[in-house]
Amino acid sequence: MAYDPGKYDLLCTHVREQTAAVAAIVIVVDGMLGSGFSVQAPPDVADRLPEILRSLARQIEASRTERRPD
């Protein structure tokens, strides 16, 4: 799962290397290989992933709420 290569690991490597990032997460919905994800992160970042993803989810929810008409 999060600590083993995912079906989109090559794409995740490309994203991480091209952005010179310490870590990368690629999430694909209904892609060529189906839905899946790949994570490349050092242990200290990987350990924080659940909270990072929860924070991201809250940001997405907030931005959707802001755009809804009254």
What are 22-26's contacts with CB under 8 Å, separation 24+? 25/49, 25/53
- Mean pLDDT in runs of 10 for the chain (70 residues)? 78 97 96 94 94 95 77
User: Are residues 62 and 54 in contact, defined by beta-carbon separation less than 8 angstroms?
Assistant: no
DSSP for 9-68, written as a single string: HHHHHHHHHHTT-S-EEEEEEEETTEEEEEEE--HHHHTTHHHHHHHHHHHHHHHHHHHS
Determine the pLDDT at residue 1. Answer: 45
